[in-house]
Amino acid sequence: MSVFTPVTAADAAALLAHYSLGELERLEGIAQGVENTNYFLTTTTGEYVLTLFETIAHDDLPFYMGLMDHLAHHEVRCPAPMAREDGEFIGNVNGKPACIVSRLPGTPEMHPGPADCRAVGSILAAIHIAGVEYDAGLTNPHGHAWREHFAAKVAPRLTAAENALIESENRYQAMHDDTVLPQGIIHGDLFRDNILWDDEHGGGVIDFYFACDDALAFDLAITVNDWCSTPEATLDPERTRAMIEGYDRLRPLTEFERTLWPAMLRRAALRTWLGRLGYNHFPRDSHMTIPKDHAFSRRLLEHHVAHARELEASVA
């Protein structure tokens, strides 16, 4: 997250008047993240996170709130949304829709080994399995149409080589029909910084605001691309194998998923690259934001394009 919309103690106290969460003790802006405004919020009853939604359509918010509520009740450790006294999860702060969720303890593991990756694979599979019973849906707003549209928008700011790579990758993706793959609720952003680990509970998952309906293997590819990549923008074979095993033991991959695995890894790398180009070339006015490395995502995509055989072998 970031702070795009500053929140004062008085704003937070006015919001808390709609909840039974006690009195405000402390409010602290969070620099991490790039999508929403976030604050740690401490009250006399506990520790929470206040989120102001900056870009998400108001109509989509019940999907995210309901999903966290559902998963929190289905053995996925994740933030629980706090209900207001009127029963709603969403309120308003400084003109922005806002929610309060429980704050998870723990810290991210930014230098994972194979054992961490195996655990993450199992956490992702548990989300996919629990998602089957969630009775709401959301079409991926960053699917094929978005990739094409965004490519045209960002094109004037990129080099000819970058535009050629995006164009050919969009063409490749259009040729690979993923509707044959199992679909369901995906997290969509299970990067290293979105799991908080603590000794007592293990991994807790945050940041469900890219969740949507899509191919489950695409979600695994997003996760592998982040957790199993090396600083040289390649995939570490041992970590990749461990994550796929951790996933597969709970939700076995189908033959189609194995066949389309290289395409999913490429699609995930393209999605992240385009997203990061957006943060970089069309920045929003933020009071606190940590930039994302878009060149790394391009190099990862280039690696995937050049090493199709290796990617196939990683899931064989």
Ligand X SMILES: Nc1ncnc2c1ncn2[C@@H]1O[C@H](COP(=O)(O)OP(=O)(O)O)[C@@H](O)[C@H]1O
Ligand Y SMILES: N[C@@H](CCOP(=O)(O)O)C(=O)O
Is 79 among the residues that bind ligand X (CB under 6 A)?
yes
Q: Which stretch binds ligand X (CB under 6 A): 33-41, 242-250, 277-285, 298-306?
A: 33-41
Partner from ligand Y, ligand X, none binding residue 188, C-beta < 5-8 Å depending on class: none
Stretch that binds ligand X, among 15-23, 99-107, 256-264, 278-286 (CB under 6 A): 99-107
In eight-state DSSP terms, residue 155 is: G
Which DSSP state fits 175?
A: H
Q: Is 35 in the site for ligand X (CB under 6 A)?
A: yes
Q: Which of 278, 269, 264 is nearest to 296 (CA)?
A: 269
By CB under 6 A, residue 33 contacts ligand Y = yes
Closest distance between ligand Y and the C-beta of residue 132, in Å? 24
Q: Please name every residue paired with 101 in a beta bridge, in sequence order, or none if there are none.
A: 49, 81
With CB under 5 to 8 Å by kind, the binding choice for 273 among ligand Y, ligand X, none is none
- Residue-by-residue DSSP string for 216-231: HHHHHHHHHHHHTB-T
Which of these segments, 69-77, 118-126, 127-135, 190-198, binds ligand Y (CB under 6 A)? 190-198
Label residue 177 exposed, middle or buried (CB < 10 Å: 0-12, 13-18, 19+).
Answer: exposed
| 207 near ligand X, judged by CB under 6 A | yes
Is 234 buried (19+), middle (13-18) or exposed (0-12) by CB count in 10 A? middle
Contact 213, 137 (CB under 8 A): yes
Q: Are 308 and 262 in contact (CB under 8 A)?
A: yes
By C-beta, is 24 or 67 nearer to ligand Y?
Answer: 67
Q: Which residues bind ligand Y (CB under 6 A)?
A: 32-35, 189, 191, 193-194, 207, 272, 275-276, 292
Give the footprint of ligand X on this chain (CB under 6 A).
1, 30, 32-36, 38, 49, 79, 101, 103-104, 193-194, 196, 206-207, 209
